[in-house]
Amino acid sequence: MKEGEKVFVFEMQTLTPLDNIAKKCRDPVIRRKAVALLRRRPMREGIRDSLLSAKVGEWIMGIEEEGLVDGFIGEEWRTRGMSVRLEEDGRRARVSCWVGVTDSDRREGIIEL
What's the one-letter identity of residue 100?
G
How far separated are the first and last CA of the chain, in Å rounded?
Answer: 22
Instruction: Please report the pLDDT score of residue 5 as a whole number.
Output: 65
> What ranges do the domains of the chain cover?
7-112
Helix (H, G, I), strand (E, B) or coil at 87: coil
pLDDT digits (tens, 9 = 90+) for 54-101: 999 999 999 999 988 888 888 899 999 999 999 988 889 999 999 998
pLDDT digits (tens, 9 = 90+) for 18-44: 999 999 998 899 999 999 999 998 888
* Burial group, residue 75, by CB count within 10 angstroms (0-12, 13-18, 19+): exposed
Instruction: Please report the pLDDT score of residue 4 as a whole number.
Output: 59
- Residues in a beta bridge with 96: 83, 108
Instruction: Please report the pLDDT score of residue 94 as a whole number.
Output: 97
Q: With beta carbons less than 8 A apart as the criterion, state whether 82 and 20 touch.
A: no
Residue 1 pLDDT > 60: no
